[in-house]
Structures are given as C-alpha cells and as structure tokens.
Amino acid sequence: MRDRARELLAMQPIVEGKPMAMLALARQLPAIGQRALALDMIRRALALAPSDGEVRALATELLSDGVHTWHFSIVRDEARNRVYDTALRNAIFPGCTVLEIGTGTGLLAMMAARAGAARVITCEVDPAVAAAARDNIAVNGFADRVTVVNKHSTRLELGDVGGQADILVSEIVSNDLLSEGALPAHEDAVPRLLKPGGAVIPVRGRIRIALMDDGGAAQPDLGLIDSFDLSAFNRLRRPYRDIPVGSPAITLRSAATDLFAFDFANGPWRGDRCETRIASQGGRVTGVVQWIALDLDDREHYENHPGPGAASCWGAIFWPFARPVMSAPGEYLAIGACHERNRVRIWLG
C-alpha cells in the first residue's frame, strides 16, 4: 500500500498541466487516503479546460462520487425549510454561537446567520461537500460569520467551535430517523460541545407507524420467470420497501401511533424493542408503513405523514407482511419492533 501511494504521488509533476491525465490520477488518489488532494487536482483540471466537454463530464463524475443525491431534494422541501428557519429565529439571540452538525449545502448555517447569530460553526465530513458549501456561503455574503470545518462532529474540538455553543442544530435524520447516526452524534455533541441548557434543534424525533394496504402495488416475490423457478433468490430481498409519502398505493388502515421517541437533548440511548397492538379500521392489511415526526422546538413541528397528495423530502418505509391480513373493524394486530440505535426493524407479531 505504501509503495502504491508513493508511486501515485510521484505521478503528480508528470500529469500536471494535462487535464485528462490529472483526472486519471485523481480517480486513484482516494484509495490511498488522498481524497482532499484528488479534489484539488480535479478543480485545477477543470480550470485548465473549462470548455472541454469530456474533461467536465469526468470531473463531475469524480466530484459527485459518494455525494448523496438527497442533498438536492431536501433543500427543496419548503415545509421543512420553514420550520427550521422559524425554530432558529425562536432560539437565536444577540451574540450567540450556533453549532451545526452536517453542513450539506450550507442552507441551515446561512439561515442561522441570517437570523442574527454572531458565529456559526458547521461541520461536514465530506471534503467535496464542505468545499461546495463554503462557496455557497461566500457567494451569499456570510463567510464572515459562518465557518465550515471539514470534520465529523465527533472529531470536533472545543477550539474548532471557540468554546461550547449556545445552540446546536442538525438535520441528520433519515427516512427511518436513525440510520444517519443522529443518536450517537447527539450523545457526543450535547454534553461536550453545547452549553448546559443550550437549545437543540430539533429537540425531539419520533418514529410513527400505521397499518396499511398497498393495493398490491409492491413488486411480488420471485417465482416462475420464463418457466424457471427463481424463488430461492427471495431470501436476498430487503424486508422493507421505500415509498413516496404521497404514493397512490397507500391506504391507511389505522390511526397513527408512536413506535419510538427520542429527546435529542438527553442521551445516551440504548437499543430498544417493543410490541404494540394497533386497532384496524377494517379491510385488507398488507403491512406497516413507517415515517418520522420532528419537534423542532415546542412550537414548530414537521411530519411526513403518508397519504394521497402528501409531499416530503423524506420518503416512507413499507414493511410488508408475509401474506395479507383480512381484518375486521376494531380488530387488533400485534406489531413487533426494535431499534439498534442506527436502524429499525418492524414485523407482524
């Protein structure tokens, strides 16, 4: 590995000034732990040939590698943006310092600065995302108050923040609330980087569920395909399906219920399991649908409740039963669930 690293680094002066050769080398640098150097080389290659379509295509491919596509959708969720902006305005006071976990595009950090924060420290582990966010922040005139630190939040030191912050804001929740590491990030940051009693935005998160009929829209298990039995492959299928919250296939068969709830200001959390009984409204039930609800503070709330016409940057998650249940109105179905701090599982009890 060390020999390979030396070989690749020795290529730098040879490829310098040759855009396609620079990009070819940049493609290999992340494998030896040199992603930051690769990004710098990509930017310089683009600057050398701004009108070369092939250079731009390859550079864009390399820059976007590993960058989640949801960065481009979450910022278009106007309801999400509105509740975050209002909660920040409710919490910010003159002279305060805001710490953000997960910079992304820089939108929430700029909202905090616009709302009057004296300083905003925002951390981002991906160097490409951090660099793009810095450019966004600079072009919008907030570079004097917003600092992007290219570190994971657990690697931040008090010196990076300038002492403990007054307010902690994040948007590191996924469709299932947990799989982006919201719990361990808050367990670390709240006691270490936030002043005692400081505001946490969002302060609470809940995982909600309801019984659902998907109308047979879920792709069925494999069976006979072109006269071949492919059913053994079904054991490799995920036990859940991602669905848009506004999918016309969603017919709820029960009221919503909270499955797990987390106060982000008061960790730590252990894995947990539960069984809940949900009263059906009657009719066919093919599974359980799961979604999230956020309390930004005690006044501002966001929920991607599924149903016809609903819209959200977060999708819902459908956990199909092995076979449909024909339920009577008022009949209770036992639903089991567990979480392991970074993922959720749901099943028919």
Spatial distance between the Cα atoms of 70 and 313, rounded to a whole number of angstroms: 8
Spatial distance between the Cα atoms of 319 and 31, rounded to a whole number of angstroms: 37
The amino acid at 112: A
Instruction: Give the residue numbers annotated as catalytic, written as ranges.
Output: 171, 180
